[in-house]
């Protein structure tokens, strides 16, 4: 198998949640460039339309389907729309997620539960709903977790716990779904996205860079490249694994 074939997604349908900006957008555009038919899901339609335009510029076909991943009925509609327009998905990227830093002494339990549902429950639901289609395609699931899942750092008890659960869910679903569906995850370190940038001034950015062995902060393209590998034939014998894309950081780079 040639290198072009090893990393090709030609003709495959991919659903990507959180595709309106940042990491999700970068994955969508790279998948489109690799030949996939990309279904872009997020809550903000204008963001999705911009992603679809970028996918078109990359030479691929893409569809914007607004979706709140916290609502299972909307996930069902998302899946039905993908099948109607492009056929059964071969790839699902559970990228939607996130939570604010928190103080555990002032965080209500229902906030923790909500963060868990957003980051873990939505990925579980879409993976379950898509499973029959993924089996048909001998496809794969990629969960975007976080380095916060393994770092011991103040202020992340809610987000870090949710992402740790998503990391373990990835391993467990891989065991459940093998050998027909591969399930892997990517654990990003500090990635410069529009969600992170407002928190950082020049001093904070410099401190985070100094704490990163590779001496730069990550870009969405770094995560997209790992996702392309996991989705491609090159990763056909990989399941239940988490790729850590974090510039080599083995502890928190959070500067506050």
> Which of 85, 101, 91, 205 lies closest to 156 in space, CA to CA?
101
- Give DSSP secondary structure letters for the chain: --HHHHT--TT-EEEEETTTSHHHHHHHHHHHHTT-EEEEEES-HHHHHHHHHHHHHTT-EEEEEE--TT-HHHHHHHHHHHHHHH-S-SEEEE---------TTT--HHHHHHHHIIIIIHHHHHHHHHHHHHHHHT-EEEEE--GGGT---TT-HHHHHHHHHHHHHHHHHHHHHTTTSEEEEEEE-SB--TTTGGG--HHHHHHHHHTSTTSS-B-HHHHHHHHHHHHSGGGTT--S-EEEESTT-SS-----
Please pick, among 151, 159, 177, 254, the residue that the annotation labels catalytic: 159
Query: C-alpha dihedral over 228, 234, 237, 243, to 10 degrees?
Result: -40
159 carries an active-site annotation? yes
Q: Which two tokens stand for residue 19?
A: 């595709």
Catalytic sites, residue numbers: 159
């Amino acid at each position: 198998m040639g290198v072009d074939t090893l990393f090709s997604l030609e003709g495959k349908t991919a659903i990507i949640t959180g595709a309106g900006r940042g990491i999700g957008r970068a994955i969508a555009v790279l998948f489109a460039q690799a030949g996939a038919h990309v279904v872009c899901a997020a809550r903000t339609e204008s963001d999705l339309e911009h992603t679809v335009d970028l996918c078109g510029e990359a030479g691929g076909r893409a569809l914007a389907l607004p979706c709140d991943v916290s609502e299972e009925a909307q996930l069902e509609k998302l899946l039905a729309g993908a099948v109607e327009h492009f056929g059964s998905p071969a790839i699902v990227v559970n990228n939607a997620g996130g939570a604010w830093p928190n103080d555990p002494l002032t965080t209500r339990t229902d906030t923790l539960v909500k963060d868990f549902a957003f980051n873990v429950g939505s990925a579980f639901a879409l993976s379950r709903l898509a499973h029959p289609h993924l089996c048909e395609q001998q496809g794969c699931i990629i969960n975007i977790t976080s380095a916060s899942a393994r770092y011991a750092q103040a202020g992340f008890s809610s987000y870090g716990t949710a992402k740790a659960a998503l990391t373990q869910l990835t391993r467990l679903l891989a065991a459940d779904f093998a050998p027909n569906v591969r399930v892997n995850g990517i654990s990003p370190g500090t990635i410069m996205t529009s969600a992170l940038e407002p928190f950082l001034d020049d001093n904070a950015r410099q401190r985070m860079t100094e704490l990163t062995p590779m001496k730069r902060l990550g870009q969405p393209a770094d995560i997209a490249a790992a996702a392309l590998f996991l989705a491609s034939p090159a990763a056909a014998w990989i399941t239940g694994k988490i790729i850590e894309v974090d510039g080599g950081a083995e502890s928190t780079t959070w500067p506050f």
